[in-house]
Amino acid sequence: MDEVKEFIVIEEEEGDRLDVYLSEQLGDMSRSYIQKLIKDKKVTVNDKIEKAKYLVKEDDKIVIQIPAPKLLEVIPQDIPINIVYEDKDVLIVNKPQDMVVHPAPGNYEGTLVNAILYHCKENLSSINGVIRPGIVHRIDKDTSGLLMIAKNNNAHNSLAEQLKEHSITREYQFICHGVVKEDKITVNKPIGRNPKDRLKMAVVKDGKNAITHFEVIKRYENFTHMKARLETGRTHQIRVHALSINHPLLGDEVYGPKNNKFKLKGQTLHAKKLGFIHPTTKEYVEFDSELPKYFQDILNKLK
């Protein structure tokens, strides 16, 4: 059965294109897929069919029919994954750079979910449905590092609640442009959609509360190796907060310089440490991971 979602446009959202508005409301869907749904007349505005370029107005009622995902579209695939820890409740994996966490419409293969479906068989939580079984949180395609997977619904609920309460330890390492003067910096700035580019995030007054704790590990000529501890978990939080203090991440072509001398394919950002209260034992557990080779190679060159 198709899933039906309804939205009412508020004053701040007036003037957005219909496809852009829906891509913001439905963060897991690509804009191209939303455009296809609009073309297929799966979207109405005030009970009328409109085109993707329609500019939404305050109080517009927008209804979208989202085709139900088909179980066969997300297939288990024998893709090697780096398992850091596993028991009957949780699976901790070290995701490589350039791997998407979960499938999206039009792209159902080669993701971490395909790999864990093969590894775990039926032992995954069903809370996030067919497309994202077991996925409690995610990191960007070009971000490497630790992710926790829930193998049953009780574990999923426990981990999701800890994320909501900001009690999970999430520590990242990255390399940024410039030499950071302060040893420690806490950035407390709200994050929301960039009003000039709705596909990007930015520090905005009416954004969601976001707090990142930065600490210098080592300074180099023109670059700094740093770590960041997330107190909240907003989309692109570290990348946006680093940019806000004028130290964008090396390799981040979305929020930083377009070119870099290291010819990177994405930002140097690694989820190095992950800690939480185990859903069953109720004891605190913490996992650490080595920096990936591409990251370590850059540090060696900077030395």
- Tell me the per-residue pLDDT of 209-252, one tens digit each, with 9 for 90 and over: 999 999 999 999 999 999 999 999 899 999 999 999 999 999 99
Q: Which residues, including other chains, have CB under 8 Å from residue 134's CB and lie 6 or more apart?
A: 91, 113, 116, 120, 124, 125, 128, 149, 150, 151, 156
DSSP string, 249-264: BTT-TTTS-S--TT--
The residue from 140, 142, 197, 206 that is catalytic is 140
Distance linking the first and last C-alpha atoms of the chain: 57
CB distance 144 to 290 below 8 Å: no
Angle at 231 between CA 229 and CA 237, to 5 degrees: 75
Rg of the chain taking only CA atoms, in angstroms: 20
Reported as a pLDDT band with limits 50, 70 and 90, residue 268 is very high
SS3 239: helix
| Res. 69: pLDDT tops 60 | no
CB distance 138 to 194 below 8 Å: no
Please tell me which residue, 132 or 14, carries the higher pLDDT value: 14
54-58, 81-85, 120-124: least confident range: 120-124
Consecutive H or E run containing 22? helix 18-25
Looking at residue 131, what is its pLDDT? 66
CA distance 241 to 211: 9
> Percentage helix, strand, coil, to 5, in the chain?
20, 30, 50
65-74, 152-161, 256-265: least confident range: 65-74
CA distance 116 to 136: 13
Looking at residue 72, what is its pLDDT? 47
User: Is 47 a catalytic site residue?
Assistant: no
SS3 204: coil
CB distance 25 to 9 below 8 Å: no
| Res. 61: pLDDT tops 90 | yes
| Res. 27: pLDDT tops 90 | no
| Res. 71: pLDDT tops 60 | no
CB distance 51 to 36 below 8 Å: no
Per DSSP bridges, beta strands 184-188 and 197-203 are unpaired
